[in-house]
C-alpha cells in the first residue's frame, strides 16, 4: 500500500509539473498582451488576471486527479471485500 501511495503522489507531481509548464507559457503570452498595446486591446489586465487564476486551478486539478482516482479505486476495492 505504501508503494501505491508513492506512485500516486509521483504521478500527481508529474502532472502538476507538466500543467505548470503549459500554464507558464500561456501566462507569458498573456503578460506580453498587457505590455504591448498592439496585442492586448481593451481589458488586457483583467484577462491576464483571469488567466492566472484559471491556470493555478488547472494545476491543482491536474495534481489532484491521480490521487482522487486511486482513492476512489481503493474505496471500491475495499467495499467489495467487506460485503
Tell me the residue range of the domain where 17 lies: 2-82
Terminal-residue alpha carbon distance, the chain: 21
C-alpha span between 25 and 12 (Å, rounded): 20
Q: How many domains does the chain have?
A: 1
Rama region for 36: left / alpha / beta (φ>0; ψ in -120 to 50; rest): beta
Q: What's the pLDDT tens digit per position in 56-74?
A: 899 999 999 988 998 898 8
Q: What's the pLDDT tens digit per position in 18-69?
A: 999 999 998 888 778 777 777 666 677 777 778 888 888 999 999 999 889 9
pTM of the model: 0.71
C-alpha cell at position 57: 486551478
C-alpha span between 76 and 7 (Å, rounded): 19
Amino acid at each position: 500500500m505504501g508503494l501505491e501511495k508513492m506512485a500516486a503522489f509521483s504521478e500527481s507531481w508529474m502532472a502538476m509539473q507538466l500543467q505548470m509548464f503549459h500554464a507558464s507559457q500561456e501566462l507569458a503570452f498573456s503578460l506580453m498582451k498587457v505590455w504591448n498595446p498592439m496585442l492586448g486591446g481593451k481589458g488586457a489586465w483583467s484577462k491576464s488576471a483571469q488567466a492566472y487564476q484559471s491556470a493555478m486551478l488547472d494545476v491543482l486539478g491536474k495534481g489532484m486527479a491521480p490521487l482522487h482516482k486511486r482513492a476512489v479505486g481503493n474505496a471500491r476495492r475495499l467495499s467489495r471485500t467487506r460485503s
